[in-house]
Amino acid sequence: MDASPRPARRTLRLPATATAVLCVAALAAGCSPASGPEPRSSTRAAAAPVATSELEDGYREVIANVLPSVVQIEAGESLGSGIVYDDKGHIVTNAHVVGRTERFNVTVATGEQPLTATLVSAFPEQDLAVVKLDDVPPGLRAARFGDSSEVAVGQIVLAMGSPLGLSSSVTQGIVSAVGRTVSASREGGGTGATIGNMVQTSAAINPGNSGGALVNLSSEVIGIPTLAASDPGLEGSTAPGIGFAIPVSMVRTVADQIIKYGEVRDSGRAALGITGRTLLDDDYRPSGVAVVSVAADGPAAKAGIRAGDIITKLDDAEIATMTSLAEALASKRPGEEVSVTVERGGRERTVTVTLGEI
């Protein structure tokens, strides 16, 4: 895709205490026909306010159920959001929100004074992290997490977090697409991670929303807002209505392992077992991935790939950059066999690689 997503993190520029903002859009009533019996026209006119009231009531119920589980995280000079994961004080957020910081101030819905928290572990490859409150306050409410397989295009969703320092803010939109593979920028503290199966949403995602909650109308968290697309044609400014959230299935996979082991032992992310760099041709255009080193006894080494080879294709995907290689691997699973086309000494050859794990 042409848009270059950037992490929705914010450098602190606003006061720590900010007013929550909530805007609920009302449905516009349709016009009745000019002719026809008067009672029928009145019935149609009355239907719209009833539908609007029911929708607003639904929004308010979701907000009351979930917003108390969404927190604000201060990591040094940066600001982001997080979700209360369990009643033991674990909070899941983005790795780019925590950055290199290990101690945080967390503002929860049950109190105005920030609480201190400590990093448990971060997993930059999936841009996720878990922090733990040093002291668990009474009434701390864990969020309820949904099922990624039930997320569908067209679903109404709410994004909750602290955009631009405005804590407990809510925006509304729909699921615009599922199964997106997106590469994050390294600018502004981003991890540069390539993440597969992301949920695309039209709900506004702004700096500070990172690590918050994308919620369905059943009051279930279905993703963590992480990236907002930027438009190269507008000098990299945010492209409105195009945001991305890490799916709840991956959130659970990573968070559960971090809480249990203090690290991620089974990422589910496929790897070739190489380090590489983007190769440019004589016209300074990307033309493949030059293999810099190969992990001993790794997948690539076992398939006969060597340092100095140039990877140009993985299965049917053309490989021109490190990003395109990462995106091609994002849709694969460890243990899966793929064909990799490489150039060596001016000659092209294709090998079969059994993928390993990050």
> β-pairing, 78-84 with 274-280?
unpaired
Beta bridge partners of 231: 237
Distant-in-sequence, close-in-space partners of 205: CB < 8 Å, separation ≥ 6 = 8, 159, 163, 171, 225, 227, 228, 243, 244, 245
**Token pair of 105 as six digits:** 């101030």
**Cβ atoms within 10 Å of 196's Cβ, excluding its own:** 21
- CA torsion, points 300, 305, 308, 311, in degrees to nearest 10? -80
* Collapsed DSSP state (helix, strand, coil) of residue 269: coil
90 is catalytic: no
Pick the catalytic residue from 90, 96, 168, 202. Answer: 96
Pick the catalytic residue from 121, 162, 169, 210. Answer: 210
- Please give the full DSSP string across 25-52, using - where no structure is assigned: PPPPPPPPPSSS-HHHHHHHHHHHHHHH
Pick the catalytic residue from 69, 78, 81, 127. Answer: 127
96 is catalytic: yes
Q: Are 353 and 338 in contact (CB under 8 A)?
A: yes
Q: Are 236 and 230 in contact (CB under 8 A)?
A: yes
How far is Cα 37 from Cα 41, in angstroms, rounded to an integer? Answer: 7
Query: How remote is the C-alpha of 41 from its chain's centroid?
Result: 46
Which residues are identified as catalytic?
A: 96, 127, 210
